[in-house]
Structure formats: structure tokens, C-alpha cells
Chains A and B, each alone.
Chain A
Amino acid sequence: GAVVSQHPSRVICKSGTSVKIECRSLDFQATTMFWYRQFPKQSLMLMATSNEGSKATYEQGVEKDKFLINHASLTLSTLTVTSAHPEDSSFYICSAPYSGETQYFGPGTRLLVL
């Protein structure tokens, strides 16, 4: 299957700081990528759709000014959690569609805000 990478895999930061997470499609181009969040023992919740060359589309209830998304190229999308707080601690996962609608997930980034 297609390979999607994320960096960093794990990050610990102080409350009030900003954290940037990168998502890359390694062997294919992705005009669209998706960002999910998963809290412990819960399923994945879609946060936003990242679109290359245009603004991201956010799901209802997701603050676009807090979760900044930039789809800089056909292989890179970044999610910046601004002014992070402990309640933002979660597992953030990106995905990219390959060969139609099939989505492949990155390995995820575990964020802990102290």
C-alpha cells in the first residue's frame, strides 16, 4: 500500500506553546489529506480536510484559528496546534487517499501538553 509519514511521532510541550505536525505522502501525490484526532478508547474523529492550493475545510466544532492547516505541496500537509492546552493532548493522525477513495494513514503523532 501507499506510505504516509508523520513527524514528530511524539511531542511534549508546555501549555500555551504551538506545535507543528507534518504529514507527508512518500511515494504518491495527494491533493487532499485528512487530519483526525483520537482520544483514548475512542474512535477517530475527522478534524479537517487539507486541500493543496486552497483553504482547509474544517468539521463542525473544530476551531480553525486554533488548528492551522497548510497544504504546502502535493506531498506535504502541516497541522499547527496553536496555544496548546492540556485538553489538546491526543493522538493526531493524518491520512491521504491513494488509488481512488482508499485512504492510508500516517503512523500518528502523540501530543502531550503539560
Chain B
Amino acid sequence: QKEVEQNSGPLSVPEGAIASLNCTYSDRGSQSFFWYRQYSGKSPELIMFIYSNGDKEDGRFTAQLNKASQYVSLLIRDSQPSDSATYLCAVNEGGGTSYGKLTFGQGTILTVHP
């Protein structure tokens, strides 16, 4: 059973602070990793993806991947109240018949308070 684990939170941070969201996965063969943001009542929207070990930055967002530790994280700098949402970590199982299939974590609820 492939699993993706996230702390469900809620995680509360003040406006302007750094929010740190964490995710671990069980399948060592996983190839690619995604962070989605989901506002209440809406479908997920892609924030970032990462394939290689290390950091990947996009604006206020930084994804970090450590395949040896089976750990992926998302940092949000200068957090804004509009960042308040559920953040979903998703892991792609890899190629072959599993191509494109994502396994989602349970999501972390982030609240950014003014």
C-alpha cells in the first residue's frame, strides 16, 4: 500500500511569516512530486512540482525534495491571508501502467492570520 503522509494541521502562521508544510511517502520508486492548493469547495490547483533532490523555487514558494529520506516539503515565504487553504502533497508512482497516477496525502490546513 503506497502511502503519502501529511500533518493535517491546522497550521497557523502570522501574516508575513514562513509557512513550512511537510510530506513523507512510502514508495522509494516514486519519481515526481507535486504540491496542490485547494480552497474550500474548489478543486486543487497546481503550485509546484519537483523531480530532483534539492530545492526548487518559484516566487514565494520553495519545494524541497530528499529522496533518501522520502521527504518533500513546501515553504511559503511572506505568507498572506490569501494563502489560507488546504495544501495537498501528491506523489506520482512512476512509469509503466502507473503512469500519471497520483497518490494524495490527506492535506494540511494552513491558516494565515493578519
Q: A residues engaging B (CB < 8 A)?
A: 1, 32, 34, 42-46, 49, 57, 91, 93, 95, 97, 101-108
Contact in complex: A93, B43 (CB < 8 Å): yes
With A43-B88, A43-B106, A101-B92 known as contacts, the answer to whether A1 contacts B46 (CB < 8 A) is: yes
| Contact with A102, one of B46, B99, B104, B105 (Cβ below 8 angstroms) | B46
How far does the Cβ of A49 sit from chain B's closest Cβ, in whole Å? 7
Given contacts A32-B100, A101-B99, 12 further A-B contacts (CB under 8 A): A34-B100, A34-B101, A44-B104, A45-B104, A49-B101, A93-B43, A93-B44, A103-B46, A104-B46, A107-B43, A108-B42, A108-B43
Residues of B that sit less than 8 Å from A by CB: 31-32, 34, 36, 42-46, 49, 88, 92, 97, 99-107
Contact A43–B100 (Cβ < 8 Å): no
**A105 touches which one: B32, B44, B49, B92 (CB < 8 A)?**
B44
Residue of B nearest to A102 (CB): B49
**B105 contact set on A, CB distance < 8 A:** 43
| A103/B102 in contact, CB under 8 A | yes
Q: Report B92 CB to chain A, min CB distance, Å.
A: 5
* Residue numbers in B under 8 Å from A32 (CB-CB): 99-100
In the assembly, what is the distance between CA of A95 and CA of B88, in Å? 15
Minimal Cβ-Cβ distance residue in A for B6:
A43
Across-interface contacts of B97 in A (CB, < 8 A): 57
- Among B44, B49, B105, B107, find the residue whose CB has the most chain A CB atoms closer than 10 A: B44
Question: Looking at the complex, which one of A43, A49, A105 makes contact with B45 (CB distance below 8 Å)?
Answer: A105
Q: How far is the CA of A21 from the CA of B104 in the complex (A)?
A: 22
Q: Is there contact, CB below 8 Å, between A103 and B100? A: yes
Q: Can you list 10 A-B pairs, Cβ within 8 angstroms, ordered by A?
A: A1-B46, A34-B101, A43-B88, A43-B105, A44-B88, A46-B103, A103-B100, A105-B36, A107-B43, A108-B43
Inside 8 A of A57's CB, which chain B residues have their CB?
A: 97
Which residue on B lies nearest to A32, using beta carbons? B100
Q: Which residues of B contact A103 (CB under 8 A)?
A: 34, 46, 100, 102
